[in-house]
Every structure is written in structure tokens, then in C-alpha cells.
Amino acid sequence: MLAKRIIPCLDVKDGRTVKGVNFVDLRDAGDPVELAYEYSQQGADELVFLDITATHERRKTTIDLVKAVARQVNIPFTIGGGINEIKDAEILLNAGADKISINSAAVRNPALINEMAAAFGAQFVVVAVDTRSIEGQNFVYLSGGRIKTELNTSEWIMEAQERGAGEILLTSMDHDGTKNGFDNGFLKTINDQIHIPLIASGGAGNQQHFVDVFQHANVDAALAASVFHYGEILIPDLKATLQQNGIVVR
């Protein structure tokens, strides 16, 4: 049985880590490089950095951040935001990132997934999907949740897998920042349909929520932000709780 992964997510804006609720009302959560170091010391399995305004502001993810993080941590980290072409990904991987995450760019140009998987290998390509439920149907949103598409979330994830995505990072916008728990029902539906790893995102508020998402949705990894950033959950405590509930962790 593969060990489940715990992944702190750092949403970066103007060089600072920020966190909001349902993708809005952002507040400062600290220096991303310092937080990255702290999480690697605590025993996080991986990190995800998302430059949350790069796509919206039509600019590239900051290379300096990637280099600084690579110097500080010894665990894998994924970087996303503003990656629109092979060259963008190549620069970030060369700067020290272990994986790249594409979201809006993949929807606008699905062939980008094929190209990146062919160029770097599927294991380097994370397709991030922001989803919201409207009248019982889940739709894909772009540009940090600003733009609704007519894409059915489940269908898009299946297509991303077929095109060579190595992993799916699925964020429920309805649950994001609410601390009411992950969207376990929808996560299970997706996880039952795909054969690549699924990272759950959106809604973590306490340790039991992590137990629930692993037990009910059987996801490969659970990602959270504010509960880690503000010290509400410490990773060693969380891993101890997961082990007590029979969940294999590193």
C-alpha cells in the first residue's frame, strides 16, 4: 500500500504567502521560503507553490522564488502559475522545481499536456483543476477561480489523464478556506474514474478531515494551506493521528 502524502500549499502573491476563503479575501500568511523550510523540517511529504495571480496578470512565475526554495528544502515541490509553454516549464524545472502544475493554460490549449508529458515525462506534469458545483453539476473554473467554463469537471479530468497528466490536483472552490472538510463525495467519484494519483484540495479544518478524505475518498494525497500556515495543525501530530487510524504515511 502506497503511503499517503501530506502537502502544504503556498499561494503566492507579490512574493508573500496569502490565504483566502472561496478564492477571495486574501490575507498574508508569511514568507514562502521560510514556510517551505519549516514544513520540510516538520515532515511534509511535498510542497505546492501556486503563483495565484500570474495567469490573471499575464506574467511568468518568479524564478527567484523557485531557486530560493530549492536551496532551502530537501523534499519535492511543485510550482504553478503562468506556465503557458514548454519553455516556461523547462526554466522552472532547471531552477529546481520537481514538478510543474498547469491549470488555465491546459484548458485553453489541451495539447500542452501532451507536449509537456512528452518533453519531461508524465511524472513531472500536474494538472490542477478548480471546480465548483452548480445545480448538481461540477464545472471547471480558470484564472484563479475568476472565469467559469462550460467544461464538465469529470470529463476534463479524464481528458487530462488521457493526454498524459501524471497527477490531478483537484480543488473544490465551494469548500476552499471554509474548514468544513474536503468534498469527499466528489473526490471519490473522480478517484474511482482515474488511474493516476489524485490530490485533494479545499476544506481542511482539522485532523479528522484528513482521516475522512483518505478513508472515504481514498485519495493519494491531501493538500491544505491555512491550517498549516497559522499553526492550527502541526504535520507530526497529523501524521500520528493518521497512523492511529490505520492510514499509511511516510
What is the pLDDT at residue 146? 85
Distances (CA, A) of 163 to 1, 85, 116, 158, 188: 27, 16, 10, 9, 22
C-alpha cell at 60: 511568468
Per-residue pLDDT of the chain (250 residues; tens, 9 = 90+): 789 999 999 988 888 888 665 545 566 778 899 999 999 999 999 999 988 765 555 555 678 889 999 999 999 999 998 899 999 999 999 999 999 999 999 999 999 999 999 999 999 999 999 999 999 999 999 977 889 999 999 999 999 999 999 999 999 999 988 899 999 999 999 999 999 999 999 999 999 999 999 999 999 999 999 899 889 999 999 999 999 999 999 9
Amino acid letter, 63: I
Verify whether residue 11 is a known catalytic residue: yes
Neighbours of 42 (CB within 10 A): 16
Phi-psi region of 144 (alpha: psi -120 to 50; beta: other; left: phi over 0): left
Verify whether residue 174 is a known catalytic residue: no
Query: Distance (Å, rounded) from C-alpha 209 to C-alpha 222?
Result: 10
User: What does the buried/exposed string (b/e) look like for 156-184 if buried means 16 or more CB atoms within 10 Å of the residue's CB?
Assistant: bbebbbebbbbbbbbbbbbbbbebebbbb
- As a whole number of angstroms, the longest Cα–Cα distance in the chain is 46
C-alpha cell at 149: 467554463
Q: Which of 45, 51, 88, 130 is catalytic?
A: 130
- The helix or strand, by DSSP H or E, that contains position 161, with its residue range, turns out to be helix 153-163
Residue 99: strand, helix, or coil: strand
Angle, vertex CA 98, rays to CA 49 and CA 65, nearest 5: 45
What is the pLDDT at residue 178? 86
Q: Please say whether the dihedral angle defined by the alpha carbons of residues 86, 69, 198 and 56, taken in this order, is positive or negative.
A: negative
Give the total residue count for the chain.
250
Distances (CA, A) of 24 to 18, 40, 127: 10, 27, 22
- Rg over alpha carbons for the chain, rounded to the nearest Å, is 16
